[in-house]
Amino acid sequence: MVAALAGCGRLLPSQTDSLNDPVEEFEHVTSSEMETSGGGTMRTSLRGDIRFDVDEDQLLDALDPVWRQVTEYVFELDDGFEMRSVLVIAHGADGSTVAPEELLGPEYAADQDATVYFGDFFEHYGLI
């Protein structure tokens, strides 16, 4: 039972690095500190922060190619399972923040109480 519950926790650092290291290679990214919860079949979320060296007016444009790679990573990791929630924030050099759901359009950005799942991004980036 302990082994089964351990699969619901965070990924080991080496597995998390396989997401954060490539993200940090993108132009304008200064650091990436994301982690998944819910390994195995109990996938729950991707949470953390991505920091950029751009200000608010460029932050969403800088996030888009990075988030495409993150979405492709999660799609492969979860075999297309669409229900992992997104709890990631992008931070600009000027202290601004955006959530990845702002890439999906104003209707997602306006509803700050709604949970956003990777299925929305799979569709947005043409993975399903």
List domains and CATH numbers for the chain.
2-124 (3.30.300)
Specify the pTM.
0.83
Q: What digits encode the pLDDT tens for the residues 36-62?
A: 887 655 678 999 999 999 999 999 999
- When the pLDDT of each residue in the chain is averaged and rounded to a whole number, the result is 85
Looking at the chain, the whole-number percentage of residues with pLDDT higher than 90 is 68
- CA neighbor of 119 nearest in space, from 108, 110, 53, 9: 108
pLDDT (mean) for 13-39:
85
